Structure 1
Amino acid sequence: MSNRSKKSDSNHPAKFNKKQGAYLQALSSYSGPIPHPDILAHYDEIYQGAAKIIIDRAEKQLDHRVDMEKSVVKSNILNEKLGIISAFLIALAFGYIAYRCAIAGHDWPASIIGKTDVVGLVATFINGGGRNIKELSQKRNAE
């Protein structure tokens, strides 16, 4: 019985004479294209002008990124315009072929070519618009 009482006494926190201590841990977080101003100040203490160099490089990187995005947007616009013009010319060609078939008395081929032409155009514009919407939503989610 004495063993049990010793075990129960040793598990009781009030019986121990351990020193209890506490410590405080402070965490801070910073996110951005350049280091936190305090860190920049430390860089400047180590190497005079380091903060200016870091900020100048960040500005150059930002300018480069903006220029690249502008060129990508211009290229995408040009590609879309060329795609629309090409689709229109192909549609005109198939429409003309369907017309010539109809005039020559070939009603079934004219009907099939004409319907395929219209369905292809509609499908192209629907799928093209869906792709652009999907790309925009992916970009928004990435930001």
Structure 2
Amino acid sequence: MVSPSSNSKDLDKTQDTKLSPLDAEIVDQINNSKMSNETKQEIISYLEMYSGPIPHPSILEGYEKLYHGASKEIINNGIAESKHRRKLESDRQKRRGRLAWTSLIVISMVTILFICLSAYLILHNHSIAGSVFGTVGVFTLLGGVVGNIDELTQNDDLSNPKDHKTDN
């Protein structure tokens, strides 16, 4: 919650606290508006910046008045939802790791096959074909590893469209 302030300099101090970009934008819009400082102070004093899987305590209080035990159920549901999402994310990361190792092993096997074929061809007086197979093997290894590094080092899963396909 952003506390009320006594002068316009204090309004700017609200921006020094750690706010999400959206919350900071809201405070900036209030500060940059043509309202009086008193009105700005009043708005900011009542402005609560809250986010999370569990509703704000005043909302929970309202649910509790309607149905005894509702707030406890809502909190338990929020905790269960959070645990479920973490488990799904952990499972997804494990799956990505297994796919990465499988991909690396397959790429390594293909590379070894191409290099062995290259050596065989070179030893049997087919140096040009052997060189081509050796080069293809090396580029297969490099391309596969570089492709995996790029795919697996993306930390923001939401920006990876391959993971969020929809059938619309």
Distance in 2 separating the partners of 1:106 and 1:43: 81
RMSD: 2.2
Distance in 2 separating the partners of 1:120 and 1:86: 11
Distance in 1 separating the partners of 2:64 and 2:159: 37
Superposed structure 1 runs of 4+ greater than 6 Å apart: none
Residue 143 of structure 2 aligns with an amino acid whose one-letter code is A
Q: 2:59 aligns with which of 34, 39, 50?
A: 39
Asked if 1:88 corresponds to 2:108, the answer is: yes
Asked if 1:48 corresponds to 2:68, the answer is: yes
**Which whole-Å deviations, capped at 9, do the CAs of 1:103-141 have from their partners, x for residues lacking one?**
1110100011101111221122122212223x21x3498
- Which structure has more RCO (C-alpha within 8 Å, separation ≥ 6)? 2
Shift of 1:81: 0.8
Distance in 1 separating the partners of 2:66 and 2:106: 61
Q: Give SS of 1:33's match.
A: coil
Asked if 1:73 corresponds to 2:93, the answer is: yes
Residue 97 of structure 1 aligns with an amino acid whose one-letter code is L
Identity %: 25
TM-score by length of 1: 0.73
Distance in 2 separating the partners of 1:31 and 1:80: 35
TM-score by length of 2: 0.63
Larger Rg: 1
The number of residues matched between the two structures is 118
